[in-house]
Amino acid sequence: QSALIQPASVSGSPGQSITISCAGTSSDVGSYNLVSWYQQHPGKAPKLIIYEGNKRPSGLSNRFSGSKSGSTASLTISGLQAEDEAHYYCCSYAGSNTRVFGGGTKLTV
Amino acid sequence: QVQLVQSGPEVKMPGASVRVSCKASGFTLTSYYVKWVRQAPGHGLEWMGWISPYSGDTYYAQKFQGRVTMTTDTSTSTASMELRSLRSDDAAVYYCATYGDDSFDIWGQGTAVTVSS
Structure letter (DSSP) for residue B76: T
Q: Mind listing the pLDDT tens digit for each residue in B58-101?
A: 999 999 999 999 999 999 999 999 999 999 999 999 999 999 88
CA–CA dist B44, A3 (Å, integer): 10
Instruction: Choose, out of A49, A90, A99, A100, the residue to mutate when testing the contact with B (most B CBs < 10 Å).
Output: A99
pLDDT on residue B102: 83
Give the rounded distance of the alpha carbon of B93 from its chain centre: 10
- Work out how many CB contacts closer than 8 A connect A with B: 52
pLDDT on residue A5: 97
CA–CA dist B91, B13 (Å, integer): 11
pLDDT on residue A1: 67
Cβ–Cβ under 8 Å, residues A73 and A92: yes
CA–CA dist B4, B96 (Å, integer): 8
Chain A residue numbers with beta carbons less than 8 Å from the beta carbon of B107 are 45-47
Minimum CA–CA partner of A99 in chain B: B47
Chain A residue numbers with beta carbons less than 8 Å from the beta carbon of B46 are 101
Q: Mind listing the pLDDT tens digit for each residue in B28-52?
A: 888 999 999 999 999 999 999 999 9
Q: Mind listing the pLDDT tens digit for each residue in A30-57?
A: 999 999 999 999 999 999 999 999 999 9
Question: From first to last of its 109 residues, what are the pLDDT tens digits of chain A?
Answer: 678 999 999 999 999 999 999 999 999 999 999 999 999 999 999 999 999 999 999 999 999 999 999 999 999 999 999 999 999 999 999 988 889 999 999 999 9
